[in-house]
Amino acid sequence: MEEQIIRTEYSDVMQKSYIDYAMSVIIARALPDVRDGLKPVQRRTLYDMHELGIRWDRPYRKCARIVGDTMGKYHPHGDSSIYEALVVMAQDFKKGMVLVDGHGNFGSIEGDGAAAMRYTEARLQKVTQEAFLADLDKNVVDFVPNFDETEKEPAVLPARIPNLLVNGSDGIAVGMATSIPPHNLGEVIDAAKAYLKDPDITTEKLLKLMQGPDFPTGGIIVNKDELPAIYETGVGKIKVRGRVEVEKLKGGKEQLVITEIPYPMVGANIGKFLNDVAALVESRKAPEIVDISNQSSKEGIRIVLELKKGTDTENLKNMLYKKTRLEDTFGVNMLAVADGRPETLGLRQILEYYIEFQYELTTRKYRTLLSKEQEKREIQEGLIKACDVIDLIIEILRGSTSVKEAKACLVEGITGKIRFKSEASKKRAAKLHFTERQATAILEMRLYKLIGLEIKALMEENAQTLKNIACYEDILENHSSMTRVIVKEMDAIRRAYARPRRTSVENVAEAVFEEKKMEEMPVMFLMDRFGYAKTIDMNTYERNKEAADNENKYVFSCMNTGRICVFTDTGKMHTIKVLDLPFGKFRDKGVPIDNFSNYNSSEERLVGIGSMDALKEKRLFFGTRSSMIKVVDGSEFETSKRTVVSTKLAEDDVVLTVVVLEDNEQIVLQSEEGYFLRFALSEVPEKKKSAIGVRGMRLGEKDRLQAIYLYQTGQEESIEYKEKQLVLNKLKAGSRDTKGVKVRG
């Protein structure tokens, strides 16, 4: 066969391929089905556990076995996704109703991951067995081929509860995402029953029965009035607060105890919350907090904040709501696969699909049961009829040479090759008209069935079968009867598995707190040669003045409400709020100054630092490696921006030094080739920060400035140069923009 080349536009192929991929992710992986509320990986995992016989009343099995079997038979997308889905279905802090009974380390509410699947074990929960998998043998759902067409899997599980609402769902597909909060099982069933009775019921009336989300972590929903609009459209934001209690201690002290957290805080965000509270304490925005301790255990959440005596606890709670994740937002986007396509659904639409699915399941279930009962009735009636003519049947069997002859006689009355005792028996046999199924049952019947009690039991069984048939036909033919069956099953599940609501739904005013004004006071800024910075109070500095000056590269006073200016060799100035710096004891190590600004010590070098309050009253001297110098008024650097350009630089030039001018009158420039030039500072003109400056020293082609020294006239200033002391005052005075003198060692 010759190869056939199909010519087409590359863009058309890409578009079709991407759409196919996107739909595969949306339908087959990321989004739940509105009918059973499960994603394909969850559905396949539960069905595989059912097939493996890992029921709720049987021993646990290794998760590795479950994952491997699921991946090999139904879900060829990697073991990690299957195990992750299995773990989440077993975590009671993520699901409103867990579907898997996990044994071993299945992670924690604080974000700890589950143990490897070779260590953990699992089995189905009783509710999963009864409400999701119980009727799979009654042809209630369609079975479809698996990925390699070697197995069959259910297209959807016959869920008897509105699982999409009860357990919620979250997932990211291509170009869309779903985020459905969990709800209370009892309330959801009540809402479903109300919708069943009145399909025109409003969302507001449904929310009187189903108040809103019921998160497994509890908490308080504070925007109750916004819920009707959210559940009408399926999109919105729900504000959730943690539950905070005030406990009184001895001595009149109090402590705040967080006993429930917002659902979005589950996982690593608990640690983030603790860090945020610690940051408020360090920045002195919440000085009332003395200690923070996380005393949470298997019994529940317990985060304790110890407070100073006389603390305004209500104001502090409001601060925590505003400044930390103790109040958080759950984004609702109720997107699910309905009728084979993704659709954003409101509460009434979800209940509508659920009720339709229940009618479909019930119809298929009772059709199957009716068919089986009708088969039983046919056989029972045949056996009862056979008992009345049992002597004739025995005569037929004894006179037949094969089962085929006997069966033909029983079904069609063919007596040709059968030997009868009398002609009368032959005529009676010719009138027999059993069905195929009845004839088979008669031929397989054992003799003890002819005992009187057995015949009586058969008659009673037939009466029960007739009663069942009448009941099933009534359910299938009368809508009201089927509705009663559905409601009865809902009530049974509600009685067995409903639990009290955990999350309260209220209308709460927005948290407002009075931020205490920071008491303005002078502090000392200390930074060592490794870049670790901190602030200490003035009294501490005075007590440790000598050690502070010797151990730190930069030491100066500033106001605690001010800013620090950091000048770098790239010509930038980064600013830092003094309040952001750690304030503490003299022997505290401090924190790298990189952490508080855009300054990056690995990419730029610090050449000057000072307090913005002090700089704006002074003048600053700038000198670069290519000998460009200038004086700038400090008021130009007064800014609230985190980073600004402090000076203009020529290409490949860098700032060598930035110095705050005090009473300096003389300047000495030193080049790398050993040239020194001394001249009066008055020769350096004052420029704007956007100017490049003027040339300070004429340099050779490959020469560059190495150092710049500023000092007062009459003050002896010496440096070590080539292992000898060089007195700068004794250098020959020159003028700016000259070569200077060469000093030999």
Question: Which residues are the active-site residues?
Answer: 119
Q: Are 82 and 92 in contact (CB under 8 A)?
A: no
132, two tokens = 């999701």
In whole angstroms, give the CA distance from residue 260 to residue 245. Answer: 10
19, two tokens = 């759409």
Amino acid 106 reads F
Q: Are 55 and 123 in contact (CB under 8 A)?
A: yes
In whole angstroms, give the CA distance from residue 476 to residue 366. Answer: 7
Among 711, 734, 701, 704, which residue's Cα sits nearest to residue 628? 704
Query: Torsions phi, psi of 644, nearest 5?
Result: -135, 165
Q: Are 196 and 355 in contact (CB under 8 A)?
A: yes
Among 184, 139, 511, 471, which residue's Cα sits nearest to residue 322? 511
Among 659, 698, 703, which residue's Cα sits nearest to residue 681? 659
504-505 and 220-221 strand pairing: parallel
Q: Are 503 and 224 in contact (CB under 8 A)?
A: no
- Residue 220 bridge partners (DSSP): 241, 504
Place of tokens 């769902």: 169
CA distances from 406 to 323, 383, 390, 434 (A): 90, 16, 14, 12
- Residue 297 bridge partners (DSSP): 300
Stretch (H or E) spanning 705: strand 705-711
- Residue 742 bridge partners (DSSP): 675
Q: What share of the chain is helix, strand, coil (3-state, %, to 5)?
A: 40, 25, 35
Helices (H), 423-544: 423-430, 436-444, 452-477, 479-497, 538-543
Residue 162's Cβ-side half-sphere holds a number of Cα atoms within 13 Å equal to 34
Among 497, 181, 199, which residue's Cα sits nearest to residue 359? 199
Among 260, 264, 239, which residue's Cα sits nearest to residue 170? 264
The length of the chain in residues reads: 745
Q: What is the DSSP string of 89-115?
A: TT-TTT-SS--EEEES----TTSPPPP
Work out whether the CA dihedral 307, 313, 315, 316 comes out positive or negative. positive
Query: Torsions phi, psi of 619, nearest 5?
Result: -120, 150
Between vectors from CA 397 to CA 393 and to CA 403, what angle results, nearest 5°?
120
Q: Give SS3 for 16.
A: helix
Cite the beta strand spans of 571-627 per DSSP E: 572-577, 591-592, 606-611, 619-624
Amino acid 270 reads I
Q: Is 116 left (phi over 0), alpha (psi -120 to 50) or beta?
A: beta
Q: Are 289 and 280 in contact (CB under 8 A)?
A: yes
Burial of 298 (0-12, 13-18, 19+ CB in 10 A): exposed
Q: Give SS3 for 508.
A: coil
